[in-house]
Amino acid sequence: MSIERTLSILKPNAVAKNAIGAIYARFESAGFTLVAAKMLHLTREQAEGFYAEHQGKPFFDGLVGFMISGPVMVQVLESENAVHRHRDIMGATNPANALAGTLRADYADSFTENAVHGSDSTESAAREIAYFFSDNEICPRTR
């Protein structure tokens, strides 16, 4: 298994709960290395572009409205099998189905306001990382 990167977002409701530090601690405890991070208040255009694959779906407008309702934290996490391991600790998209101890079980408020995002494949991860970070904003560990 090779080292992968995945794109993680702490959505506006997670940031509003002052849970940034607690969630970052979960990432680090789970063995992820943070190699990039920034706080952003997304514009409607940025949010629509990020979720372009969902354009036209019934939840799209609500999702975009939620994602621009407050600041988000965007980060790149690195580990072996990062995409799948990160999705495991996030839990199911619908928090009603999220296993105890997952981020969505602990921080989600609803299906839409489900606290966290994670890339769903290595291909999505590459596209999503490039959407938010230039190469010189990614800082692999040197020690």
Binding region for ligand RTP (CB under 6 A): 54, 59, 63, 93, 111-112, 114, 117-118, 120
Smallest separation (angstroms) from ligand RTP to the CB of 54 = 6
On the CB side of 62, how many CA atoms lie within 13 Å of its CA? 8
Nearer to Mg ion, 57 or 139 (CB): 57
Report the side by side order of strands in the sheet with 3-10. 33-40, 72-80, 3-10, 116-118
117 is catalytic: yes
Point out which residues pair with 4 in neighbouring strands. Answer: 79
Kindly name the residue from 54, 84, 86, 117 that is annotated as catalytic.
117
Rg over alpha carbons for the chain, rounded to the nearest Å, is 14
Residues annotated as catalytic are 117
Annotated binding site: 11, 59, 87, 93, 104, 114
